[in-house]
Amino acid sequence: MYKLLLILKYLRRKLAPLFAASAVALCTAMVIIVISVMGGFLQMMRESAQRLTGQVTVSSDLWGFPHYEDLLDELKKVPQIDAATALIRAYGLINLYNNVITIEAVGIHPDSLNTVTGYRETLYWTSQHLLDDIEQSMPPAELRNQREQALYESRRQRFEQIDLRDLGMTFTPPVTRPNQQPQPGIVLGIEVNPYNRRGHDGQYDIATSSINSELTLTLIPMTQRGTVMEPSVRRMVVANEFKSGLYEIDANRVYAPFDLVQQMLRMDEATQVNPETGEPTGQMEPARTSEIMLRGKPGVPLDELRQAVSDTVDAFTAARPGLPYLRVQTWRDRHATLLGAVEKEKMLLTFLFAVISVVAIAMIGVIFYMIVLEKTRDIGVLRAVGASRGGVMSIFLGYGLAVGCIGAGVGLALAASVVYNINKIQDFLTQRFNFTMWDPTIYYFDKVPSQFDTTEVTVIVVVAILSSVLGALLPAYLAGRLNPVESLRYE
């Protein structure tokens, strides 16, 4: 009982435990904040990666593989699979505002892709952007005459009726110019257009977007041997832009209608020709694609899904000799380098801060040693009235435990308030001191990501408390070993 009483008394009386608890609190908060922000960053990248590649892909080389529709049918029958879509990857060029840019062109079926990856959500421009834009360029309060008023109203009404994301989903350019043939639409990665700039809020301005701009897309078809054929060139109009969250993708990729890309790459169904004579053989060359992307049923583990897909693909290729090698990969495999880098970074940072925390343990040790020195005479008194060595030791261990609990608790509260308000804090710092920790123009996220992982946080808190006890261990041991007679003489 006296131990508890003394621990409580010592906690209330001294400045030293306050220092020790603050050190614990700061270390705990620091590690939690770093882990949460890095974890959030990682989580965002993972989500982006899955939004780009679905959960599992089946892919061949650039030349592609035939009979993909049969494979799609087979895959859709697999119980673990929820949705699947075919797409074609190719490399090419676009000429946008006389900028020639190399790109990766992906031919997609937007609706079925959407069921696999949630593609629609990545389309950046919504009608709200258009409405905001007219409000900006023609502020209703500043309209001078009826003509301007009428113009404003008509635009508003027109914009209210169109849904830019719907147009993106159907590759329809928002505005068809009169007496012009409707041109096919294309969706660009938001960083492809060099005029798109992220503001300090991390948002883009529709005024500089390439929406409705005309461009030419050049794709280079190949023979099965890999030689280049006559390039296909097509005029297209930008229907929308997308933002996947991975900069490398957004700066290099464009989406176009599947059938169009297939035709341009001569991967559609065609009559076979004899390569030597150039004469038609009378047989049909089947259509090809280069990739199938799929999503599992909710709750199906990734490895199980991958295995199911592998089995189906193996059976499919076994039944059709002459198919190129089909590679089955999970989204983790495909983004391994990128995710691996961030995961390592997170581990490294956690490790660094853990090392810093060792300093905090040492500090607790020193502070507790000072407390023991200061209390030497009292320790002698305790021994004289019958306290055991273990009893004296456990007072200081308990004291360490109490300091650890208080420190870790305060640190947890501190970290939680920072993590949950990190964007507000960031905005405040930016506005007040023009200081930006997480610059959206650099980091490519408009918000500071953060994620409070209960398991990780619990581990950190427990480790912080144990560390405090560990820091108090040696001083506590020394306190227990003190010779009571010497202690009583101690002044």
Partner 1 sequence: MTDTATQQDTLLQATGLRKMYRMGGQSLEVIRGVDLSVTRGQWLAILGASGSGKSTLLHLLGGLDRPSQGSVVFDKQNIFAMRGPRLDRYRNRHVGFVFQFYHLLPELNVIENVLLAAMISRSVPAWAGARSQQRPRALKLLDRLGLSHRLNHRPAKLSGGERQRVAIARALINQPDVLLADEPTGNLDAQTGDQILEVLQEFHQAGQTIVMVTHDHRIAQAADRVITLRDGKLDPEQSEAS
Binding site residues, partner 1, CB under 8 A: 1-2, 4-6, 9-10, 12-13, 377-378, 380-391, 484-485, 488
The two counts, helices (H) then strands (E), for the chain are 18, 13
Of 397 and 418, CB closest to partner 1: 397
Of 223 and 388, CB closest to partner 1: 388
Of 51 and 383, CB closest to partner 1: 383
Residue 18: CB minimum distance to partner 1, A: 15
Residue 461: CB minimum distance to partner 1, A: 25
Of 26 and 370, CB closest to partner 1: 370
Of 85 and 487, CB closest to partner 1: 487
Residue 377: CB minimum distance to partner 1, A: 7
Residue 485: CB minimum distance to partner 1, A: 5
**According to DSSP H, which parts of 90-206 are helical?**
110-117, 127-137, 146-161, 164-169
Nearest to 418 by CA among 70, 71, 35, 6: 35
Dihedral of the CA atoms 394, 400, 401, 402 (nearest 10)? 110
Residue 30: CB minimum distance to partner 1, A: 32
Of 3 and 306, CB closest to partner 1: 3
Question: CB neighbours of 192 closer than 8 A, spacing ≥ 6?
Answer: 94, 96, 101, 103, 210, 241, 250, 251, 252, 253, 254
Residue 484: CB minimum distance to partner 1, A: 5
Of 36 and 487, CB closest to partner 1: 487
Nearest to 367 by CA among 23, 31, 25: 23
Residue 384: CB minimum distance to partner 1, A: 5
CA atoms within 13 A on the CB side of 206: 20
Strand (E) or helix (H) holding 292: strand 291-296
Of 100 and 384, CB closest to partner 1: 384
Residue 17: CB minimum distance to partner 1, A: 12
207 DSSP assignment: G
DSSP 403-453: HHHHHHHHHHHHHHHHHHTHHHHHHHHHHHH---SS-HHHHS-SS------
Q: Which two tokens stand for residue 25?
A: 């609190």
* CA distance linking residue 323 with residue 317, whole number of Å: 6
Residue 395: CB minimum distance to partner 1, A: 11
Neighbours of 141 (CB within 10 A): 4
Residue 473: CB minimum distance to partner 1, A: 20
**For tokens 């660094």, what's the residue?**
352
Of 322 and 386, CB closest to partner 1: 386
What are the beta bridge partners of residue 87?
Answer: 291
Residue 406: CB minimum distance to partner 1, A: 18
Q: Which two tokens stand for residue 6?
A: 């003394």
Helix (H, G, I), strand (E, B) or coil at 150: helix
Q: Which two tokens stand for residue 154?
A: 């008509």
Of 4 and 229, CB closest to partner 1: 4
DSSP 25-64: HHHHHHHHHHHHHHHHHHHHHHHHHHHHH-SEEEE--TT-
Of 273 and 485, CB closest to partner 1: 485
324 DSSP assignment: P
